[in-house]
Structure formats: structure tokens, C-alpha cells
Amino acid sequence: MSASSPTSALSADDLAALEAVLKALASERRLQILEWLKDPAAHFPPQEHGDPELHGACNLFIVEKLGVSQPAGSRHLKVLVEAGLVIPTRRKSWIYYRRDEAAIARIPELLRSI
């Protein structure tokens, strides 16, 4: 995305890329996940393997806290991963998710050009 100067015109490609990120974000469930992942240790049970600080929260914990079925929860996480907003870490037979703070921090900047 060519977004750097605040008031520049946005190309069609810029708009499409923006739409993709916004679609991933435009879900209360997924916003909630991002919110929880700000502090995994505070929002999820202690994990035996996978440091909450380092690797984030386990798939199952997130799904359970969301209160939806396991496939539904996993799909939300997949959307966030594919949008580049969270980073998955496989460890043993679990998958941990943590925020990609750099990518998330870029979003307000992108929005400044709309």
C-alpha cells in the first residue's frame, strides 16, 4: 500500500488492500480476540507449554472463551492470521496465537489516508 503521506490519493489497489484489512477487523468476535491477546496471561488459564507472553494464547482457550464451536473459533483465528494481524506458533500439538503488534500499529496510519 502506498499510504505514507496523509492526504495523498488512494489507488484502487490501496482501496482493495484496505478493504481486506477492514473486513478482517469488522467483527466483534475478532476484535474481542485481539483485545484478549493484549494480555493473554490475564485472560486465559495458565498454559503448561507455550509462554503466554511469548507465544500467546492457545487455540482451545480462545475458542472456549469466545463461546462458539471449535471450528467457528478456529475460523476466526484463521481470518486474523491471514490478515496478518496475529501470529500462530505451533508447539507440541497446540497452536498459540499472539498479536502482530507491528501490523496492528500500522492500521491507524493506513486509516489516516481515507
Partner DNA sequence: AAGGGACTTAACGACTATGTTATGTCGCCA
Partner DNA sequence: TGGCGACATAACATAGTCGTTAAGTCCCTT
- Residues 24-83 interacting with DNA (rule: CB under 7 A): 26-27, 29, 58-60, 68-72, 74-79
Cβ within 8 Å of residue 92, ≥6 positions away: 49, 50
Q: For the packed helices 28-36 and 70-82, what is the interaxial angle rounded to 10 degrees?
A: 80
Residue type, 66: L
Q: 79 and 29 in contact (C-beta within 8 Å)? A: no
What residues pair up with 96 in beta bridges, in sequence order? 58, 89
In the list 2, 38, 78, 91, the residue contacting a second copy (rule: CB under 8 A) is 38
Q: Which is nearer to DNA, 20 or 111 (CB)?
A: 20
Residues 16-35 that bind a second copy (CB under 8 A): 16, 18-19, 22-23, 25-28, 31-32, 34-35
Helix-strand-coil percent breakdown of the chain, rounded to 5? 55, 10, 30
Q: Find the binder of DNA among 36, 95, 98, 99 (CB under 7 A).
A: 95
For binding to DNA (CB under 7 A), which residues are involved? 23, 26-27, 29, 58-60, 68-72, 74-79, 92-95
For binding to a second copy (CB under 8 A), which residues are involved? 7, 9-10, 12, 15-16, 18-19, 22-23, 25-28, 31-32, 34-35, 38, 104, 107-109, 111-112, 114
